[in-house]
């Protein structure tokens, strides 16, 4: 096992043929480091799909070349219009379909159920609003009271871009951060993704998280960070001229203490002003 708390792209040592196969493919694909709990499951699925596709690519290419040579035009030979009489190709098709069914039913659907549908309780999680815009990310935390406070479209001004009610006590302890999303290590994070303008996408490769940020919608994603570090956010939707600038966003995974210290340093902004530090 690699040292705890360090990002890794290696699976834990295991000698089953499945893990040997996935470890081989992992080396070949050179996937980015994994810094979330479900990350290795995503890797396993990606690796198994690559195995199937690799076997199909090699198998069909060999078969194609064989047929080109075996059935080439030769003087005096007429085509057999009846075609193949054996059942080998049928069995191969059944084999491929079975492998695909195993991938879907045995890996993809359980992975989706676990990492996408099965949300941790909000009380045990760091809840953050991720608001994308052209061209940056704002992260809003509800502060110690756990409540974001009232928002109203009529309150939106240049100084109060999210229309928070400054009179609402729940708003006052909100914490906002531009382009830096701090989250504590080994605790679930629930990120509620939305957008102020066009469709963006919150993609953080080491966390194996990708979620579109769509204006008018609030779409939550969750993950458990397993390694401290600073991980780049990539906007995964072409959203305008400054699309590439959205790579200035980072998820910073810190220990509980450092996360608290950061939160304290950001507190007191009243929740309405965005810090551009």
Of the two residues 38 and 200, which places its CB atom closer to ligand CUA in the complex?
200
Question: What's the rounded Cα separation, in Å, for the pair 35 and 183?
Answer: 12
Of the two residues 185 and 239, which places its CB atom closer to ligand CUA in the complex?
239
Among 138, 211, 237, 274, binds ligand CUA (CB under 6 A): 237
Cβ at position 194, least distance to ligand CUA in Å: 13
Examine residue 203 and tell whether it contacts ligand CUA (CB under 6 A).
no
Examine residue 243 and tell whether it contacts ligand CUA (CB under 6 A).
yes
Its sign, for the CA torsion 33, 35, 36, 40, is: positive
Rg of the chain taking only CA atoms, in angstroms: 25
> Between residue 104 and residue 143, which ones bind ligand CUA under the rule CB under 6 A?
132
CA atoms within 13 A on the CB side of 78: 3
Q: What are phi and psi of 96, to 5 degrees?
A: -65, -45
Cβ at position 200, least distance to ligand CUA in Å: 3
Question: What's the rounded Cα separation, in Å, for the pair 143 and 128?
Answer: 10
Examine residue 196 and tell whether it contacts ligand CUA (CB under 6 A).
no
Of the two residues 227 and 235, which places its CB atom closer to ligand CUA in the complex?
235
Of the two residues 190 and 193, which places its CB atom closer to ligand CUA in the complex?
193
Of the two residues 191 and 263, which places its CB atom closer to ligand CUA in the complex?
191
Question: What's the rounded Cα separation, in Å, for the pair 38 and 190?
Answer: 14
Structural contact between residues 271 and 201, judged by C-beta atoms closer than 8 angstroms: no
Q: Which residues are near ligand CUA by CB under 6 A?
A: 132, 200, 235, 237-239, 243, 246
């Amino acid at each position: 096992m690699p040292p705890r708390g360090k990002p890794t792209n290696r699976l834990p040592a295991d000698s089953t043929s499945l893990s040997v196969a996935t470890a081989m493919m992992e080396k070949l694909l050179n996937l980015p480091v994994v810094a979330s709990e479900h990350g290795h499951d995503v890797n396993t699925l990606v690796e198994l799909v690559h195995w199937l596709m690799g076997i199909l690519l090699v198998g069909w290419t060999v078969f194609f070349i064989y047929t080109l040579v075996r059935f080439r035009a030769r003087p005096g030979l007429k085509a057999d219009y009846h075609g193949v009489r054996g059942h080998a190709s049928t069995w191969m098709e059944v084999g491929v379909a079975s492998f695909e069914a195993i991938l879907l039913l045995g890996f993809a659907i359980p992975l989706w159920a676990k990492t996408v549908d099965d949300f941790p309780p909000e009380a045990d999680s760091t809840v953050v609003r991720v608001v994308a815009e052209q061209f940056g990310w704002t992260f809003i935390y509800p502060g110690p009271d756990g409540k974001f406070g009232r928002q109203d479209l009529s309150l939106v001004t240049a100084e109060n871009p999210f229309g928070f009610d400054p009179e609402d006590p729940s708003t006052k302890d909100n914490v906002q951060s531009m382009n830096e999303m701090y989250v504590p290590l080994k605790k679930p994070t629930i990120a509620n993704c939305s957008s102020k303008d066009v469709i963006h996408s919150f993609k953080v490769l080491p966390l194996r998280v990708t979620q579109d940020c769509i204006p008018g919608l609030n779409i939550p994603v969750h993950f458990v960070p397993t390694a401290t570090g600073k991980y780049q956010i990539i906007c995964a939707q072409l959203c305008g001229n400054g699309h590439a600038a959205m790579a200035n966003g980072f998820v910073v995974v810190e220990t509980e203490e450092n996360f608290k210290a950061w939160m304290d340093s950001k507190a007191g902004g009243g929740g309405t002003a965005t810090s551009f530090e």
